[in-house]
Structure 1
């Protein structure tokens, strides 16, 4: 049921007569998979809305990050617009993009799944800044971010309906985007205690985003 609701969010159109064209159970399965992939591809091109899980810094830390971003922006001659403090986050799991507002029943199902993840609150600490190849100027780290890596894997285990090839997860906080590339360098660590996971709904191509749900981290 969860996978069905997720597919419904990512694709707003059905495929009448799908079963009648399949000559076998295997053929039906392959046809459904092919159709699902096509539907997701079309949905991505037409998408207006995004849904993802993230960790956010507490307000005090977010303001401190924003202040240091302004200093780095001046120091390195960057011109990109810094993210608002309330928009700073670490993306953990991308649910998907679609040309519609995520339905309430999908949000409820996602929250129910994440609520079952056993994970105590943990410390997050970023000790580097750098630019990614896509122009994102970010906070980054290494060993001090192991908690994020563990949580990301546990979320993927309960949220991804199908096993997929492993993708490297690089925990980071995007501060701004700029054409100028800044090489990786150490900074005075910035950290906070992660106590909850936010389910975020954002509008693609806009700065608008809102937390539609928050799930407290709890030990098993």
Structure 2
């Protein structure tokens, strides 16, 4: 059975990755959104709620996982975070495998994975596109988010592989620092390049 070419799409916080993922979708490329699947698994009636509640009592309810309560337990606790990831990652992996089966006839699919470099997912993709923007643009976008502070932003950056390193390791860099039209042109150029590689 033919297997699609898998492009891993990643980028640091505030770089515009969700916007770029949507541009791939609009161009007809199926996108697997790892974060969205985690939200479903942990949302109301989510499949992982019983396991998460058993491992972290008091962190789930009718609305799904209480992200603040769970975050407080795993934030800065490597062992607790590893326990949570051992529950979440295999479940997301199964959904990802089903996604690949569903789109087996497609020439190209995108795996939208925010922590592709941080969590070791680069070995499951055929090429990597990093979404990037100038640091001042990134900061402006992130600090405009509700509840975001300069301290929280600094902490997130500490946990992420630096943008410069991601750009170096990428096969493609998609710049979101200019207009949406310019970014869309870059996305279309990546798709065209990958179509030529797949021939």
Q: TM-score range by the shorter chain?
A: under 0.3
Q: Which structure shows the bigger proportion of residues in helix conformation?
A: 2
The TM-score, its normalising length taken from structure 1, stands at 0.24
Looking at both structures, which has the greater relative contact order when contacts are Cα pairs under 8 Å and sequence separation is at least 6?
A: 2
Greater Rg, structure 1 or structure 2? 1
Q: Which structure shows the bigger proportion of residues in strand conformation?
A: 1
The TM-score, its normalising length taken from structure 2, stands at 0.26
